[in-house]
């Protein structure tokens, strides 16, 4: 799959910029995208979040121990989890910009992103810490999709292969597009795959000097249709063009 799709991605995705030398400035720009990214990524998944809620959890004004509404609010927990995962993703990007291999970093760190994403559900008692250990143990299905993700057994072979491909791929655009696509194609977790896939996309963009790129909830239908075509028909062209257009627009700002 990777080798069949690689050339199509290269033809339809903008060329990488120089890898940033001013890591502090790049990370400042990433942080500036946090609120926008959190709103759109969570909204794509159906959470009802507001700019006020996102800023409140970033500022630390989220108290599941002392505030019953915060403890029980699904949207607040999702927003807090996204914030915590975003911080972990930034640490991964720093390692990559400092010269570490992007495939090795994300192979090691993506499980941390996942745990942070759902840590508030552990704090609230909805999940047990053991629920966040490892990949899923049962079949998962995607609502509204004809694609059936890999079996739980196949996940354990496919994920190491994905990160090996990322480790050895020299084109950052290919890493970004196919890293995102194949991760959600595999769907290794029971929940959170889309958010982790978009984090992986932006981490790989950083490895090529691209700007952090938000996938707008207003373009959710086009995004999901392109993913569906890649997953069901094996045609990555629309997905590469869709993401490439967003990257070009972001880099031109």
Residues that constitute the known binding site: 191-198
* 8 Å CB contact between 38 and 49: yes
Q: What pLDDT score was predicted for residue 22?
A: 95
Sorted by where each begins, the domain ranges of the chain are 2-251
Q: What pLDDT score was predicted for residue 59?
A: 80
33 in active site = no
Residue of 40, 110, 180, 187 marked catalytic: 187
Q: What pLDDT score was predicted for residue 124?
A: 76
Q: What sign does the CA torsion over 59, 64, 69, 73 have?
A: positive
Q: What pLDDT score was predicted for residue 90?
A: 98
Q: What pLDDT score was predicted for residue 250?
A: 86
* Full 3-state SS string of the chain: CHHHHHHHHHHHCCCCCCCCCCHHHHHHHHHHCHHHHHHHHHHHCCCCCCHHHHHHHHCCCCCCCCCHHHHHCHHHHHHHHHHHHHHHHHHHHHHHHCCCCHHHHHHHHHHHHHHHHHHHHHHCCCCCHHHHCCCCCCCCCCCCCCCCCCCHHHHHHHHHHHHHHHHHCCCHHHHHHHHHHHHHHHCCCCCCHHHHHHHHHHHHHHHCCCCCCCCCHHHHHHHHHHHHHHHHHCCCHHHHHHHHHHHHHHHCC
Residues that constitute the known binding site for ATP: 191-198
Name the CATH architecture for the domain at 2-251. Answer: Orthogonal Bundle (1.10)
CB atoms inside a 10 Å sphere around CB 84: 19
The structure's pTM equals 0.93
Q: What sign does the CA torsion over 65, 66, 72, 76 have?
A: negative
* 8 Å CB contact between 18 and 191: no
pLDDT tens series, the chain, 253 aa: 999 999 999 999 999 988 889 999 999 999 999 999 999 999 999 998 888 878 877 887 766 666 666 655 778 889 999 999 999 999 999 999 999 999 999 999 999 999 999 999 888 787 899 989 999 999 999 999 999 999 999 999 999 999 999 999 999 999 999 999 999 999 999 999 999 999 999 999 999 999 999 999 999 999 999 999 999 999 999 999 999 999 999 877 6
């Amino acid at each position: 799959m990777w080798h069949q799709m690689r050339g199509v991605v290269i033809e339809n995705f903008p060329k990488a910029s120089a890898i940033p030398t001013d890591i502090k400035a790049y990370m400042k720009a990433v942080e500036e995208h946090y609120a926008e990214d959190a709103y759109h990524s969570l909204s794509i998944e159906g959470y009802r979040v507001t700019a006020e809620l996102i800023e409140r959890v970033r500022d630390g004004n989220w108290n599941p121990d002392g505030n019953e509404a915060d403890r029980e609010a699904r949207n607040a927990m999702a927003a807090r989890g996204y914030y915590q995962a975003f911080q972990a993703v930034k640490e991964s990007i720093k390692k990559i910009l400092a010269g570490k291999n992007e495939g090795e970093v994300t192979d090691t760190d993506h499980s941390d992103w996942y745990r942070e994403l759902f840590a508030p559900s552990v704090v609230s008692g909805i999940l047990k810490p053991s629920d966040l250990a490892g990949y899923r143990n049962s079949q998962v299905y995607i609502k509204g999709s004809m694609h059936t993700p890999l079996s739980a057994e196949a996940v354990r072979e496919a994920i190491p292969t994905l990160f090996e491909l990322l480790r050895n791929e020299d084109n950052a655009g290919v890493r970004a597009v196919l890293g995102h696509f194949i991760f959600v194609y595999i769907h290794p977790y029971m929940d959170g795959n889309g958010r982790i896939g978009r984090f992986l996309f932006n981490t790989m963009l950083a490895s090529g000097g691209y700007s952090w790129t938000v996938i707008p909830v207003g373009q959710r239908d086009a995004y999901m249709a392109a993913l569906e075509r890649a997953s069901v028909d094996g045609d990555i062209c629309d997905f590469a063009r869709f993401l490439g257009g967003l990257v070009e627009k972001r880099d031109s700002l």
